[in-house]
Amino acid sequence: MTEFDKIAVIGERKIAMGFEMIGIQDIFISDDPKEMLSMLRSTISSKEYGLIIASDSIMSQIYDDELRKIEAMLKPVVIFIPISKDASEKESVAQLAKRVLGIDISNLKNK
């Protein structure tokens, strides 16, 4: 991403608050997966964002062919993060970062 690319976060308040605390300003909060899908489509079509972080609860509303398109896009990169109770069975954030961004964050430490 270039320094001009923006980051958007779409999801429930418990997801959004964490990203807001680290300084991400474009936060779209909803508990309704259909509304979140609408927000996702709008942020993708705006072409303003280089990265969109979205709750995985949106995925229940996306048809398979649209999901494949979203996952194959180079810009913006859309990352679905787990919010559901069975998140432990899903891909960890570290595994997701390595797969999507090519970065191993499991060895990073706060300095």
Question: What digits encode the pLDDT tens for the residues 2-34?
Answer: 455 799 999 999 888 888 888 889 999 999 999
Stated pTM of the model: 0.72
Buried/exposed 50-68: b ≥16 CB within 10 Å, e otherwise = bbbbbbbbbeebbeeeeee
Q: DSSP assignment, residue 22?
A: T
The C-alpha atoms of residue 66 and residue 100 are separated, in whole angstroms, by 18
Domains, the chain, ranges and CATH? 6-107 (3.40.50.10580)
How confident is the model at residue 109, as a pLDDT? 45
